Amino acid sequence: MGLDLDDEELRCECGVSGIKADHDITPLFRDIHDQLPHRGHDAAGIAVRQEGRIIQKSGKGIASQVFDDELIARMEATEGVGHNRYKITGEGLTPVVAEGRHGRVAVSHNGNLTNVEEMKEHIRSLHVPVPENATDTLLIALWTVNGPGRSIEENMELLRDDYAEGAFSLAVLVEETGDVLGLRDKHGVRPLNYGKIKGGRTLMSETVPLRVISGHRGREIKPGELVRLKVDGLETISHHPDKRRALCAFEYIYFSRSESSLDGKYVESVRREIGRELAREAIARGGLPSVDIIAGVPYTSIPMAKGLAREAGLYELFDDVVSKNQYSVRTFINPDAGPNSGLDELSLHELAERQKMIEKFRREAVERKFNPLVPILQENPRVLLIDDSIVRLNTMPQVIAMLRDAGATEVHVLIGCPPIIDTCHMGVNIPERAGLAAANVSVEQIRRKIGANSLEYLSPQGLLNALGLEFDDVCMGCMTSRYPFEIKDKRDPYVVADTLEPSAADRHYN
């Protein structure tokens, strides 16, 4: 397994899709997943039903590389599911195909189960072998075809209601019937959308691909809803939501594309509102710093910078100060390569040298990704920079140093979310607390480490205001250590809470 040197970026680990139509749908998977690389561009895969049998193909790379013309011609079908993801290891290539007493299925999964060990025991109690290193997607697939229900649909309902915990938005292809099923966990942590195409219907993580495949938006799959695609419609099999909703706040802040819609709100509009809230909070503190230019770090922070500039009456100061190479290849170091590869066997000197190498590659990765706009900075040397988040302090110090080298004399930073102080257990690559800057040092210490003249974060209430939601509508666990439900696989102490402020109803776990 490689070490991701681009680990300052938060990543939602998967994008899923499902299609049922009266014509060949295989080319559509390439078009759909080409529009979802932000949800995973390390690997992609599809599973389709041909002559009554599930055929699966997956590989490393973006969708257009994996779904080449030869594959598309070979896998002609009228129903199937697709998947793209980050960080693949071993059996992590998906969709996952599993066989059991209810037949065969292919499962595409976006999210993360929070009771993996418990699910393993549930499945083993059914006398089904489970590998120790089984992914949560494999566990879901094994349960679906081996569970105690009378059908695959009943097993999915049991999974939702009684057994699986955490985040899961699923697209499932059933071999025997050719059904394409969709299921969203009862808290609605990850999105899942229904769309209409000519001669068929679709499921997908986001609405953006619909335009590319000449489709039309239907609606969001509701939290706790189990559905079946039909060629001419959508059937709700059952709907069992939890009263506590928990849509991931970072879907709005960072993950979803600006053109996407979540819970009836366009992501672009929400990001601009985040910027407006940043301006309101800054004004309440005494005002924004005196600057020559207001800019966002590409790309998700640019709408935030626009919103802030408009709210502050300073839109004439909005401009770009840095460009981003969207085609930059993310760099990995493979710690398993070469002699002395086992970390436990390395000497202190070798560990120190390895760390220097990692830091060198990280610096080079940032330099390849970002380029300062020198003439603009030389004419406007006092910068107010907006970014969506700070995770580990790997990127922001280098961006600010780059701006200063290009002519900036002041760099003030506003962050469009509260400090990230805890890990995510629902499908985002946020590390444990020891690896998070804000969990270990103060805001002032972070300011000094990144080299900014000033640093402020959006407050938790400010984020809720921008989202137009209440605390019990979203998950903000990584920003508050207050999670929407129990997380059985979590090691650090945490609180399960329905309100932002402490209350007698809070449940504490250690």
Q: What is the 3-state secondary structure (H, E, C) of 141-193?
A: HHHHHHCCCCCHHHHHHHHHHHHCCEEEEEEEEECCCCCEEEEECCCCCCCCE
Locate 451 and state its tokens.
């080299």
- Give the closest residue to 21 by CA, choosing from 155, 202, 247: 202
pLDDT band at 76 (very low <50, low <70, confident <90, very high): very high
H or E stretch covering 30: helix 26-34
pLDDT digits (tens, 9 = 90+) for 106-149: 999 999 999 999 999 999 999 999 999 999 999 999 999 999 99
Structure-model confidence comparison of residues 413 and 505, the more confident one: 413
In this prediction, residue 333 carries a pLDDT of 35
Q: What percent of the chain has pLDDT over 70?
A: 89
CA–CA distance, 101 with 147 (Å, rounded to integer) = 9
In this prediction, residue 88 carries a pLDDT of 47
CA–CA distance, 359 with 5 (Å, rounded to integer) = 9
DSSP bridge pairs for 294: 318, 384
Q: What is the mean pLDDT of the chain?
A: 90
pLDDT digits (tens, 9 = 90+) for 436-491: 999 999 999 999 999 999 999 999 999 999 999 999 999 999 999 999 999 988 87
In this prediction, residue 89 carries a pLDDT of 42
List of domains in the chain:
13-242 (3.60.20.10), 265-465 (3.40.50.2020), 469-509 (no CATH)
Lowest mean per-residue pLDDT among 16-20, 24-28, 343-347: 343-347
In this prediction, residue 357 carries a pLDDT of 76
Question: Is the Cβ–Cβ distance between 113 and 164 less than 8 Å?
Answer: yes
In this prediction, residue 10 carries a pLDDT of 61
Helices and strands per DSSP (H, E), number in the chain: 17, 28
